[in-house]
Amino acid sequence: MAKTQPKRENQYIKKTTPTLEERGISQKQLLQKAQRTENDEFYTRYEDVEKELNMYRKSVWKNKVVFCNCDDAVNSIDTNTSAFALYFLRNFTVLGLKKLICTHYAGKVDLFNQGPKGYIFTKYGFNAIDKKKEYPKNYTGSFDDPLSLKILHEEADIVCTNPPFSRAIDFWKMMIESGKKFLIISNITNPITLAFVPYFREGKVWAGYNRVDEYLNHKREIVRAAGSWYTNIPIKNRPKYNHLKILPLKEIPEKYKKYDDSKMLVVDHCYIPSDYKKPFAVSARPILNGLLEKGYQIVENQYFPCVNGKQGFRRVLVKKI
């Protein structure tokens, strides 16, 4: 139940709330509003963690030190324990983990009722007593605290957590530079966001198996914030390949292809031209569905199609290899 900070689509929506269409609000308007919202404190639900992590072979985790470093509190009460920590504690033996290290962040919003002091929890064996909780002096529990960085570089094999969306640029840079394996949740638009596109283009990160659309706020109410799992752990036979509609250009329905004012081809609804040799513009969805694993590459980090002088939503340019 890690704290998550979605800044992009941070609209509180209970399950009884009308749909965006019913309220007359577009997705783009919702994103723009969310960019101005500062409250981005949320829990990750256990079912979302379990759904994603169960997709990976147990050998990925065997004899590994897993580090949950973004307010992944541990408590004897499940509701006061991060979903990430809870998953690994419940499956410690089955996965054959060597060690689990979790940190609690001493922030203003104490989502897990763990108090104002940052701490480090360590599970280091298969017995119930093989664990400890330490409160180092002046330790903040932040992922970029010097002690957290020391654990990352000297002990961790795999980082698995939900980093704050508001600090995603810093977190991703830290993880990529560390060279460690990771499995994290982040904004669903990262594949077409300028700060992150180079990581996808250079094959340093790709989407996981699932997206995450629902979280819990501090009142344990369902809220929506569009996120996705991202990783550098190899994925084979991605189910989302089936969402890609790779066809000859002439077979793509007209309503899902157009040329903008610069004569750039823009395709939607995950339609991909198989016989088009020039660059063309796509949204985040094809990238999330594994397009770059299907013989295509990003050739322009950011592109805004203009039709009749009106600028459209951000894209990236891709090209068949």
202 and 305 inside one domain = no
17 and 151 inside one domain = yes
206 and 259 inside one domain = no
The number of distinct structural domains making up the chain is 2
- CB 6, CB 226: distance < 8 Å: yes
Q: Show pLDDT as tens, one digit a residue, over the chain (321 residues).
A: 454 444 433 343 333 434 444 334 444 444 444 433 344 567 899 999 999 999 999 999 999 999 999 999 999 888 889 999 999 999 999 999 999 999 999 877 777 878 889 999 999 999 989 999 999 999 999 999 999 999 999 999 999 999 998 999 999 999 999 999 999 999 999 999 999 999 999 999 999 999 999 998 877 888 998 999 999 999 988 898 999 999 999 999 999 999 999 999 999 999 999 999 999 999 999 999 999 999 999 999 999 999 999 999 999 999 999
252 and 124 inside one domain = no
- CB 168, CB 184: distance < 8 Å: no
61 and 175 inside one domain = yes
Question: What is the pLDDT, as a whole number, of residue 40?
Answer: 54
pTM of the model: 0.86
118 and 137 inside one domain = yes
Question: What is the pLDDT, as a whole number, of residue 110?
Answer: 74
Q: Which of 207, 231, 255 is the last residue of a domain?
A: 231
227 and 244 inside one domain = no
215 and 245 inside one domain = no
Question: What is the pLDDT, as a whole number, of residue 116?
Answer: 86
Helix axes 168-178 and 146-154, enclosed angle (nearest 10) = 30
Ordered DSSP codes for 88-128: HHHTHHHHT-SEEEEEE---SS-TT---SS-EEEEE-SSST
Q: Which of 231, 266, 286 is the last residue of a domain?
A: 231
Question: What is the pLDDT, as a whole number, of residue 221?
Answer: 86
227 and 250 inside one domain = no
222 and 299 inside one domain = no
41 and 180 inside one domain = yes
Range of the domain at 305: 239-320
**Could you tell me the CATH number of the domain that includes residue 55?**
3.40.50
Q: Which of 202, 231, 260 is the last residue of a domain?
A: 231
Q: What is the DSSP letter of 213?
A: E
226 and 246 inside one domain = no
